[in-house]
Homo-oligomer: A and B are copies of this chain.
């Protein structure tokens, strides 16, 4: 089985490791716009050969795992060159724009928009890990626009990865994910920025920061090339989520200024419900 991967970073590289685990005889063709990444991916055995866009008609699957602002153009070129049998997937964190722009492509039936809910704060081929696609939730959009045969292959693949599949329309996906993922990244990036600005002598951060700080700014290590385009692609939802977040911060600030301990305790108690939500996430993971 021939598989193409365009973008050999965390997401693309990890997908290759997963495919090689499930299908040891598959042949992986890869491309990355960075020669360094391509070289590292080759050395790590993430890919077997270089992908040639003019020679993909007999591929079973092509994954596009690049920043979301570049995905649409690349997906169009890929779809221009595939055969009837090739599944083309992206794994980007925004779906509305991509689905809308590909809606009328002659080979739209080859495409499935997916968003595997998995990742780490690290990037590049060296960050790729085998387990990234296993036992996770994968959101898919508009499966009715994918041809039944190709969709069937996609589902069988997801099943081998033991994924939980959720079907969402692209607009709902972008709206919900702006809160659960994009806002988390922004809060973390900006927390790191604020602390770094304050502590010009970074030595103090080393000394005073505990595991709480570390956990809260973990996402601030994420790739700027991946995340700047996500914030822009999902601008309306992200700015709305940001407005609500800032409003809530400001409300807490006013309670602090007014010494309103009772309201703060009430608020934090309500927020503590997140314990139950998080243990739900973990139970879900353990069930798999």
Contacts and interface: CB of A to CB of B under 8 A. Distances in A.
A191 interface: yes
Interface residues of A, number: 95
A212 B119 contact: yes
A210 B218 CA distance: 13
A176 B204 contact: yes
Given A206-B280, A244-B194, A270-B193, A213 B257 contact: no
Interface in A90-124: 117-121
B265 A225 contact: yes
Interface in A187-234: 187-199, 202, 204-222, 224-225, 227-229, 231-232
A33 interface: no
Given A166-B207, A199-B176, A208-B177, A261 B229 contact: yes
A91 to B, nearest CB: 13
Contact of A208 (B137, B206, B215, B268): B137
A58 interface: no
A285 to B, nearest CB: 9
A118 B210 contact: yes
Contact of A193 (B176, B195, B204, B267): B267
Interface of A: 69, 117-121, 136-137, 139, 164, 166, 176-177, 179-181, 183-199, 202, 204-222, 224-225, 227-229, 231-232, 235, 238-239, 241-246, 248-250, 252-253, 256-257, 259, 261, 264-275, 277-278, 280-281, 284
28 contacts: A118-B210, A180-B199, A180-B208, A180-B209, A183-B191, A183-B194, A184-B212, A188-B216, A190-B271, A193-B248, A194-B241, A194-B245, A198-B244, A205-B277, A206-B284, A209-B277, A214-B281, A215-B219, A216-B216, A218-B278, A220-B272, A224-B267, A224-B272, A227-B268, A232-B261, A235-B256, A239-B257, A245-B249
